[in-house]
Each structure stands twice: as C-alpha cells, then as structure tokens.
Amino acid sequence: MVEEAELVIAEASFPSTGLGIEMQIAQQQGTPIILCFRDFGRNKVTTIEYVNPDSTHHQLQVGEGFVSLMALGIPEVMKIIRYKSHENGIDEVLSAVSLLTKS
C-alpha cells in the first residue's frame, strides 16, 4: 500500500517493527510523510552516556527521546507533529494535509 500511497502519515509514539521500513519505501517513491507522536509519559527514551576507548564521554539520545534520528532524517518527512491529545493530533494532521492539497 505504501508504494501506491500519495501520502504517508506515520504515528511514531512508540517503537514498532515495520514503520521504518514503510517510511523508507515512501522515501524511495518520493512520497511525502507526516510524522506524528505524542508524549505519553512512558515512551521517552532516556539519554545514555557512553565512553569511548580514548576515555571521551558522549551522550546518546534518540531525537529528543521520542523518535529515532533515522526516522527524523528521512528527506520526505515534510511535517513533524508532536500532539497533546487525540483530537489535537487529528486537527494537526488535517491541517498539514490541507497544506499539501493546496500546493
């Protein structure tokens, strides 16, 4: 279905198997993507500190803790929506879709 879609709306509040693959298929097709997520209070990844062999310290964080940097880096992601409620999320997505249809 992704290969034939005119738009992909990716709900990425929680890690999932398959969403990244679908986003990559959309990217290969040049299909615009709207990426949305919500902070549920339990779905944020904590920052991890790691130390290299040369003793340098680094912080590893996944896109503010919610969405992977791989997903955020896909060029076809035309809008990222962090919504507060289901109703707010739907309104934000519809607004983004209406901007696409006007273009």
Per-residue pLDDT tens for 47-94? 778 888 999 988 766 656 777 777 888 889 999 999 999 999 999 999
Q: Quick one: tokens of 28?
A: 């290969």
pLDDT at 41: 73
Domain residue limits at 17: 2-102
CATH number of the domain enclosing 81 = 3.40.50
What's the domain count of the chain? 1
**37: pLDDT strictly greater than 70:** yes
Tell if the pTM clears 0.85, that is, is over it. Answer: no
Question: If you count them, how many residues does the chain have?
Answer: 103
Question: Computed from CA positions of residues 47, 51, 57, 63, in that sequence, does the dihedral angle turn out positive or negative?
Answer: negative
* Whether 82 contacts 92, CB under 8 Å: no
Strand order in the sheet with 33-38: 8-11, 33-38, 77-83
pLDDT at 63: 59
